[in-house]
Amino acid sequence: MKVIASAPHFFVSDIHTSVRFYVDVLGFDEPDLWGDPPAFAMPRKDGFVVMLNQADTMPPSPNGPRNCWDAYFWVDRELDGFSRRLLEAGADIAYGPEVQPAYGMKELAVRDPDGYMLVFAEDIDPQS
């Protein structure tokens, strides 16, 4: 057996608001919506998926205290440009971009509309 993919699965308070954030702010591809009424979507970026599921009876539950990550995305370049784009879009930037010398990454953390902490990170020494 070989694991070939993984996807975070988030319960969200409003599927339409969340889809618009992932598409319009983060630049994910426009997903199909499933259900009647729509309750599930899988926005995709560069082959990676985030599953969004409308929470009917339970509120969204981001992972723990402030600055605790819910999803971590490795990127190959352009983190600073992505950061500028997020700021222009009015995204809730939690921190960054900032260098994490302990593990050699530059990180940018943003909160989605339900408070999930999404971290985008690039290797500060891509030759290693």
Asked, for residue 128, whether it belongs to a domain, the answer is no
Range among 41-50, 68-77, 101-110, 117-126 with highest mean pLDDT value: 41-50
Element (H, E) at 16: helix 15-20
Banded pLDDT at 59 (limits 50, 70, 90): low
**Total domains in the fold of the chain:** 1
Q: Is residue 2 situated within a structural domain?
A: no
Residue 56 pLDDT? 79
Express as a percent the part of the chain with pLDDT over 70: 87
Whether the Cβ atoms of residue 102 and residue 75 lie closer than 8 Å to each other: no
Contact indicator for 75, 82 with CB cutoff of 8 Å? yes
| Residue 90 within any structural domain of the chain | yes
Tens of pLDDT, residues 66-87: 567 889 999 988 899 999 999 9
- Give the domain range for residue 119: 9-123
Which residue is listed with tokens 């992505």? 82
Residue 49 belongs to domain with CATH number: 3.10.180.10
Would you say residue 39 lies in a domain?
yes
pLDDT tens-digit profile of 2-25? 656 788 999 999 999 999 999 999
> Do residues 102 and 124 lie in contact, with contact meaning Cβ atoms separated by under 8 Å?
no
